[in-house]
Amino acid sequence: MKDTFHLNTKLLGLLGHPIKQTYSPFIHNIAAQMKDLDYIYLPFDVPAANLRNALRGMIALNIKGFNVTIPHKENIIQYLNNVSEEASIIGSINTVVNELGKLNGYNTDVDGVLATLTPYKKEINGNDVSVVGAGGGARAVIYSLIRHFKPKKIFIINRTEQRAEALKNYFDAKMKFTAIKTRELFPPDLVKIFNDSKLIINATSVGMFPDSDDVITKLGDSFVKDQLVFDLVYNPPETRLLQLAASKGAIVLDGLKMLVHQAAKSFELWTGEKIPVDELQKSLLMVIKN
């Protein structure tokens, strides 16, 4: 983002409702500044009923691209001209590129998951993984695990077990991956499953600011030494879950790296420019801590 705006300043944005907890405007405006690009990124609070009109507006105003978040991630697919293969399997969009009035949809959360987990590929392959959650984030995580790793078994654990069951059936049908088991999120029953998982991923919003004291399990004996525990929650970066897991000797991975990498991929799709992600992450951390 430049200090002044000109005739040629291009617009990017975010469609969601509500959009109070987002860091996206900060990330993308800093990215534009880092690359000295004449772009500005604005949040647009668009309720579900206004999505179609908002998309017409984005085209009419020649907005170059935008992110989408809750509640539009799945519903938007019907209005897009093209959807990437990845986003179509995941069934959820977080990035749209406006290519001369044609809207192309992508899911860049996979880039964030891979940036976080690829360094641990050897540890993950051949072992059990527990994914807690069954929403959009969990879909991107499960897709990434099946497509890019070789987990022995994936446990999908969710407060509402029917949603976990629906995801199991979905990935069985879409990706022919049959080694999925489901469980209700009921911590006393999960200790053994968690203990036997080389990787545990929290893909729920539990622990997110302002409810930072919440945690998917308070049972410390769920975690073991050298296990990997990845929390998609990025605010606060060091969640109660990660604190608890670290106290048992687990290797903990926060949601910030995923956040910055998914944003960097979106920015690249819109502008063709790669962002220095480490520098961006440092700037973001300073904002979160203040």
Q: Which residues are catalytic?
A: 73
The reply to whether 160 sits near ligand NAP by the rule CB under 6 A is: yes
Q: Report CA Rg, the chain.
A: 19
The reply to whether 185 sits near ligand NAP by the rule CB under 6 A is: yes
Which one of residues 234, 244, 280, 284 is an interface residue with ligand NAP (CB under 6 A)? 234
Which one of residues 163, 174, 181, 248 is an interface residue with ligand NAP (CB under 6 A)? 163
Which one of residues 229, 259, 275, 284 is an interface residue with ligand NAP (CB under 6 A)? 259
Which CB sits closer to ligand NAP, 63 or 215? 215
How far is CA 104 from each of CA 10, 61, 85, 96, 162, rounded to the nearest angstrom? 18, 16, 11, 5, 31
Nearest to 75 by CA among 98, 54, 100, 58: 54
Which one of residues 30, 201, 206, 241 is an interface residue with ligand NAP (CB under 6 A)? 206
Minimum gap (Å) between residue 8 Cβ and ligand NAP: 31
Choose one: 50-58, 142-150, 199-207, 241-249; the region binding ligand NAP (CB under 6 A): 199-207
Which one of residues 91, 137, 151, 237 is an interface residue with ligand NAP (CB under 6 A)? 137
Choose one: 4-12, 81-89, 133-141, 273-281; the region binding ligand NAP (CB under 6 A): 133-141
Which one of residues 12, 27, 199, 208 is an interface residue with ligand NAP (CB under 6 A)? 208
Sheet holding 39-45, edge to edge: 39-45, 10-16, 65-68, 95-99, 102-106, 82-83
Tokens of 185: 């999120």
Strand pairing class (95-99; 102-106): antiparallel
The reply to whether 22 sits near ligand NAP by the rule CB under 6 A is: no
Which one of residues 15, 83, 180, 203 is an interface residue with ligand NAP (CB under 6 A)? 203
Minimum gap (Å) between residue 158 Cβ and ligand NAP: 5
Choose one: 11-19, 127-135, 222-230, 242-250; the region binding ligand NAP (CB under 6 A): 127-135
The reply to whether 262 sits near ligand NAP by the rule CB under 6 A is: yes
The reply to whether 204 sits near ligand NAP by the rule CB under 6 A is: yes
Q: Are 107 and 93 in contact (CB under 8 A)?
A: yes
The reply to whether 205 sits near ligand NAP by the rule CB under 6 A is: yes
Q: Are 252 and 223 in contact (CB under 8 A)?
A: no
Burial 94-115 (b: 16+ CB within 10 A, else e): bbbbbeeeebbbbbbbbbbbbb
Minimum gap (Å) between residue 231 Cβ and ligand NAP: 8
Q: Among all chains, which residue has been given the structure tokens 């209700």? A: 184
> Which stretches within 94-222 are classed as H helix?
109-117, 121-124, 136-148, 161-175, 191-196
The residues pairing with 10 across neighbouring beta strands, listed in sequence order, are 39
| Secondary structure string (H, E, C) spanning 77-128 | HHHCCEECHHHHHHCCCCEEEEECCEEEEECCHHHHHHHHHHHHHHHHCCCE
| Residues of the shown chain interacting with ligand NAP in the complex, contacts defined by CB under 6 A | 70, 109, 112, 133-138, 158-160, 163, 185, 203-206, 208, 232-234, 255, 258-259, 262
